[in-house]
Amino acid sequence: TQLLEQSPQFLSIQEGENLTVYCNSSSVFSSLQWYRQEPGEGPVLLVTVVTGGEVKKLKRLTFQFGDARKDSSLHITAAQPGDTGLYLCAGGESGGSNYKLTFGKGTLLTVNP
Amino acid sequence: DTGVSQNPRHKITKRGQNVTFRCDPISEHNRLYWYRQTLGQGPEFLTYFQNEAQLEKSRLLSDRFSAERPKGSFSTLEIQRTEQGDSAMYLCASSLGGTLIYNEQFFGPGTRLTVL
């Protein structure tokens, strides 16, 4: 069973601060996806990374996939209250099981005005 | 641009009753997934369809659970004889199939089930 560990579990910061959340595994994934989920809603896909060492930017969000494709990070610059939510990483298996996503437990981010 | 839709959004039922949820995927997506999410956890995989074929079921899907996708479009998830432990958010997702080395899954808003 492939497991994804996310850290920190909870993060509360002030508007304007920077932050980084981490997603780690002992397993290799063919891809890694980051989602943001608001209370009572489904996860919304933010980005997919597939190549070891890949870096993708989405406005103030920077996503990195580890060289060995076992870990990933999400960095937010100048956080805003609208960034508040549960950030989930999900790893995609390879080969014939590439439909499977394994989710971490998430990082609950609160950005205070 | 219509995304994945789920109905109902909320369901409150008494223990022992049967419930059925519906999911309408993005129209061109031939893969459909059901997940369950409880408080403080990420979504957990329940089952997967490619077109109308149910190709995998998780051990989490006991014999009280059944899912169908009769025409390869919408899907239903039925829970028979509900138990309090079934209380959770039930999420549906869809994705394109084919030979992609990865697949991006798009989620619906979920159905929140409360079993009293």
- Return the CATH number at A84: 2.60.40.10
The C-alpha atoms of residue A66 and residue A86 are separated, in whole angstroms, by 22
Looking at the complex, does the CB of residue B90 fall below 8 Å from at least one CB of chain A?
Answer: no
Confidence band, pLDDT 50/70/90 cuts, at residue A109 = very high
Average pLDDT over residues A90-107: 84
Answer yes or no: do A105 and B108 touch at CB < 8 A.
no
pLDDT at A89: 96
**Domain housing A31:** 5-112
Other CB atoms within a 10 A radius of the CB of residue A44 amount to: 15
Residue-level pLDDT at A42: 96
Cα–Cα distance, B58 to B43 (Å, whole number): 13
CB contact under 8 A, A103 and B91: no
Measured between beta carbons, which residues in chain A are less than 8 angstroms from residue B106?
Answer: 45
- The answer to which of A36-40, A42-46, A92-96, B79-83 has the lowest mean pLDDT is A92-96
Number of domains in chain A: 1
Distance CA B99, CA B41 (A): 30
Q: How many angstroms away from the CA of B47 is the closest CA of chain A?
A: 10
Residues of A in contact with B43 (CB under 8 A): 43, 88, 103
**pLDDT, position B104:** 87
Of the candidates B31, B40, B91, which has its C-beta nearest A99's C-beta?
A: B31
Record: contact A105-B40, CB cut-off 8 A: yes
How high is the pLDDT of residue A76?
Answer: 98
pLDDT in tens, chain B (116 residues): 589 999 999 999 999 999 999 999 999 899 999 999 999 899 999 999 999 999 988 888 889 999 999 988 999 999 999 999 999 999 999 998 766 656 789 999 999 999 99
The answer to whether residue A2 scores a pLDDT higher than 80 is: no
Predicted local distance difference test score (pLDDT) of residue A1: 60
